[in-house]
Amino acid sequence: AQTVTQSQPEMSVQEAETVTLSCTYDTSESDYYLFWYKQPPSRQMILVIRQEAYKQQNATENRFSVNFQKAAKSFSLKISDSQLGDAAMYFCAYRASNYQLIWGAGTKLIIKP
Amino acid sequence: NAGVTQTPKFQVLKTGQSMTLQCAQDMNHEYMSWYRQDPGMGLRLIHYSVGAGITDQGEVPNGYNVSRSTTEDFPLRLLSAAPSQTSVYFCASSPNAGFEQFFGPGTRLTVL
C-alpha cells in the first residue's frame, strides 16, 4: 500500500527567508501525481503545487517550488521569501492509479515576523 | 460558480443517531470524494465516485454510506453515529482524478 510521510510536525522560519518542507512516499507505481496543499486556520484546503511523476522538471508556482526526486521517492516543497500569510498546515498528497489520494500527516509552518 | 458547498458547517449528534452530510458542486466535475480529518493526521478517504451512479470505498468506509444519483450531488450518510466518527469532514471534486481536487469548507461533526 502507498504511504506518505512528512517527518517534520512543525517548522518555523523568519519572514522573508526560505524554508523547505519534506515529504517522502512509498509506491510501486511508475505513473502518479503528487500535490502540496495548504490549510490555513480557516480550514479551507488550497492547492499549492502539483507534480506529475513522468515529468522530470520540477514544478514551480511563484515563490513555491518542489524538489522531486523520483528514485528517492522524495517530494519537498521550498517556499522562498516567506510571508506571514504562508503560515498554515501543509500537506503532501499522493494520487494513485485507483484515484485515491493518500495524505501525509502535515507540517505546521510558523512564520516569525 | 459556488464551487463545492457543504452543509451543515457544524453538527452535534448523539450516539446512535443518523444524519446526512450534504455536498454539491456546480463545476460539472466527474470525480467526487469524501474525507475525514482527525487531529495529527492527514485526510483519510472515506468514499469516492468517478461519475453518477458509480461509487467505491476508500480507506475508512465503515459506518458511512454514499450514493451518486446526479453529477452535482454526493451525500454522505452516517448510519448510526459513534464517538469515533467525531471529526472534520471534507468533500472534494475534480474534473478527473489527475487534476487538483477542489475542496468544500468542511463540516465539523461531534458525536457525544
What are the DSSP calls for B1-30, one per residue? ---EEEE-SEEEE-TT--EEEEEEESS--S
Which residues from B are below 8 Å from A61, CB to CB? none
B45 contacts A101? CB cut-off 8 A: yes
Please name the residue that has the C-alpha cell 521517492: A73
Rg (CA), chain B: 13
Q: How confident is the prediction along chain A (113 residues), in pLDDT tens digits per residue?
A: 789 999 999 999 999 999 999 999 999 988 899 999 999 998 999 999 999 998 888 999 999 999 999 999 999 999 999 999 999 999 999 987 777 788 999 999 999 99
Answer yes or no: are the C-beta atoms of B80 and B14 closer than 8 Å: no
pLDDT for A96: 79
Which residues from A are below 8 Å from B50, CB to CB? 99
B101 contacts A43? CB cut-off 8 A: no
* Confidence grade of residue B64 (pLDDT, cut at 50, 70, 90): very high
Length of chain A: 113
* Confidence grade of residue B97 (pLDDT, cut at 50, 70, 90): low
* Confidence grade of residue B15 (pLDDT, cut at 50, 70, 90): very high
Calpha distance A36→A23 (Å, rounded): 9
Distance from first CA to last CA of chain B, Å, rounded?
36
Name which of A93, A95, A105 is nearest B98 (Cβ-Cβ): A95
Calpha distance A63→B112 (Å, rounded): 44
Name which of A44, A52, A104 is nearest B42 (Cβ-Cβ): A104
pLDDT for A35: 95
Name which of B40, B100, B105 is nearest A35 (Cβ-Cβ): B100
Which residues from A are below 8 Å from B43, CB to CB? 45, 91, 93, 101, 103
Give the chain B residue whose CA is nearest to the CA of A92: B42
Q: Per-residue pLDDT for B40 more than 90?
A: no
Residues 6+ apart with CB under 8 A from B81: B13, B14, B15, B16, B17, B18, B19, B111
Which residues from A are below 8 Å from B58, CB to CB? 100
